[in-house]
Amino acid sequence: MNDTRKNRRTFLKYSAVMTAATGLLSSCASVDDYLFDDKNDLDDEVVIVGGGIAGLYLAKQLRAKQLEFRLYEASNYLGGRIKSFSGRDYGASLLSKSDALANLMVDELKMTRIPMDKESFYFGEGMQTLVDLLVERIIGLIPYRNFRMRYQLIEIQKQTSGYELTFQAGQGQKRVRCQRLALAVPPSQWGRIKGLLDLPEMEIAKNLHNSMQTESAIKLILPMSSIQGVSKSLAEFNIGNFSVRQILKKHPTALPAELDVFYKSNINFSIDYVYSELKKKLQVNYPFQKLPSDQYFGWSQAPYVQGAYFKLSGAYMADKTSPFQILGDSVSAVAPNRIEGALQSAKLAAEAFV
């Protein structure tokens, strides 16, 4: 079976399982409690808040070490900012050959690398296949046992021993207590969680959070026919106050062009302005439609996706003895704002929980 069919089979299997698990959340709470032992006291489990690549990789590490965990995700989609459609990546797109943990995981999942250049590679079916295969490895026979979808953390309180978490789940709220907590939520969301920034464990992270800079980014997916006179598979160029990374991938059904646009200053130019400048530079006149990056399921319907990533003034130094761990690409000291950074932070967190 070729990689395309295998990945499609994996994706469908994963989607069916997660759809079933998500559907269970709307059922009667008492039935959930009875059938799935949905207890409030999770002292014997590591609670992971956030189902992006960092939270998932931590779950994988814990499962390998035979440690119980419960992962809570606010949306009904796992993978965070990794999203693909028909081979096009609307979030993370490339991995580097020098990314140690990412390459180990790719080998373990038996994924096929497609070279972009001497330094980087991608996957034919998109970066989301990495998430799909990772979830398949850790989801287990009963997905509801370890995963809670559409559970948004809205408040956290420190207890005499451990933490009490309040989640917004469906039409009501759910409170759980835990001794070990992994926060895999982007810094942009920290301020929305009541009590989080008041925790003594967040003191250093809070100082970083106060100096955080939001850097807007725009992802464009264009048909090759709209890109004239381009031969390089990976090219970078500047237009005024923003830089552009242009990625041309070999794809079995189409040759999409992905453009990552990053602002070089703290001035947030409108997406309309950026598009008008790109039209002049690339001489394209493609139908314009913009879409916020948090509308995951609509990404494939719009060629332009506006998102953001976060630049901290320094790296968060994790306390390896603490039962409270912060993870994610934005707090990584090794490879910030990259998948490798997310994996490195998750690995450190796993070591703290052992």
Which whole number is the average pLDDT over 234-257? 75
DSSP for residue 252? S
Q: Is 108 helix (H, G, I), strand (E, B) or coil?
A: helix
Confidence band of 227 (pLDDT split at 50, 70, 90): low
Look at residue 110 and tell me whether its pLDDT is greater than 70.
yes
Q: State how far Cα 101 lies from the chain centre.
A: 16
Look at residue 246 and tell me whether its pLDDT is greater than 50.
yes
Q: What CA–CA distance (Å, rounded) separates 285 from 152? A: 40
Beta sheet of 114-115, edge-to-edge order: 95-96, 120-122, 114-115
More confident position, 348 or 257: 348
Q: Which residue do the tokens 């698990």 mark?
A: 21
Look at residue 1 and tell me whether its pLDDT is greater than 80.
no
Most confident of 33-37, 82-86, 296-300: 82-86
Which whole number is the average pLDDT over 138-147? 77
CB 109 within 8 A of CB 56: no
pLDDT for 23 equals 41
Half-sphere exposure of 332 (CA within 13 A, CB side): 20
Which whole number is the average pLDDT over 81-94? 83
Residue 159: what are its φ and ψ, rounded to 5°? -100, 175
Look at residue 272 and tell me whether its pLDDT is greater than 80.
no
Amino acid at 190: W
pLDDT for 129 equals 94
CB 121 within 8 A of CB 115: yes
Confidence band of 268 (pLDDT split at 50, 70, 90): low
Closest CA to 81 of 55, 42, 63: 55
Through-space distance between the first and last CA atoms of the chain, rounded to whole angstroms = 38
Per-domain residue ranges for the chain?
3-210+313-353, 213-311
Under CATH, which architecture does the 3-210+313-353 domain have?
Answer: 3-Layer(bba) Sandwich (3.50)
pLDDT for 29 equals 40
Question: DSSP E strands: which ranges in 211-274?
Answer: 213-223, 234-239, 242-248, 256-263
Look at residue 242 and tell me whether its pLDDT is greater than 60.
yes
Q: What CA–CA distance (Å, rounded) separates 113 from 225? A: 26
pLDDT for 269 equals 67
Confidence band of 80 (pLDDT split at 50, 70, 90): confident
Look at residue 18 and tell me whether its pLDDT is greater than 60.
no
More confident position, 181 or 237: 181
